[in-house]
Chain A
Amino acid sequence: KAGVTQTPRYLIKTRGQQVTLSCSPISGHRSVSWYQQTPGQGLQFLFEYFSETQRNKGNFPGRFSGRQFSNSRSEMNVSTLELGDSALYLCASSSGVGLKGYTFGSGTRLTVV
């Protein structure tokens, strides 16, 4: 069973640009969640998509957005990048039912210069 695939693994962008990150969940999983990890703030929840609908949202500005496609793949977009957006972005896949079963990808490390 293939795991959660995040692309790209590394990304360097300039302040003011926008970026799109991709996450392919485990086959059959309908829920995809996104997390931001920084040394200062730790791991913070961005949003969750389930069957193409945003089901839950964290406390991030509107520059952070996402979507989910019919095949459950999800993309996350950050517009007007700031230096503080430099982080490891992790995607987690789950069946969306019950309490168990989050599987994380290897993450995308974004550096904003």
Chain B
Amino acid sequence: AQKITQTQPGMFVQEKEAVTLDCTYDTSDQSYGLFWYKQPSSGEMIFLIYQGSYDEQNATEGRYSLNFQKARKSANLVISASQLGDSAMYFCAMREFGGTSGSRLTFGEGTQLTVNP
């Protein structure tokens, strides 16, 4: 069964600094996708970035980049130039393609990020 592990329950960063949120995953599938979502206190899950298992380049979306190390099964999120509005819960998730899991997302436990002024 697939599993996502986020080992940092909480992280603190100073405004304008960069921060890395860790994510490791476990799957036996060759084809899968990795996602990062941001969840502010309002509850909505906001898509940040996606990395496919066959993508050769690390994904980037504005201030977000994904440090994908396939052999180590890690997909860390890097947020550059942190802003106060980045304070939120961050979830790493994986979607496997096919198999008994179908098209569900499996989420990690989340990391609560606090950006200090």
Answer whether A99 and B44 are a contact pair too, CB < 8 Å, given A45-B106, A58-B104: no
CA distance A88 to B40 in the complex (A): 13
Interface residues on B, range: 20 to 34
Interface size class for chain A? Answer: 20 to 34
Residues of A within 8 A of B52 (CB): 99-100
**Inside 8 A of A88's CB, which chain B residues have their CB?**
43
Q: Are A106 and B32 in contact (CB under 8 A)?
A: no
How many inter-chain residue pairs (CB < 8 Å) link A and B? 63
Contact: A92 with B105, CB < 8 Å? yes
Given A104-B37, A105-B44, A109-B43: A99 in contact with B32 (beta carbons within 8 A): yes
**CB within 8 Å of B: which of A31-61?**
31, 33, 35, 42-43, 45, 48, 50, 55-56, 58
Q: A residues within 8 Å of B by Cβ?
A: 31, 33, 35, 42-43, 45, 48, 50, 55-56, 58, 88, 90, 92, 94, 96, 99-100, 102-107, 109
Binding site for A on B (CB under 8 A): 31-33, 35, 37, 42-47, 50, 52, 91, 93, 95, 97, 101-110
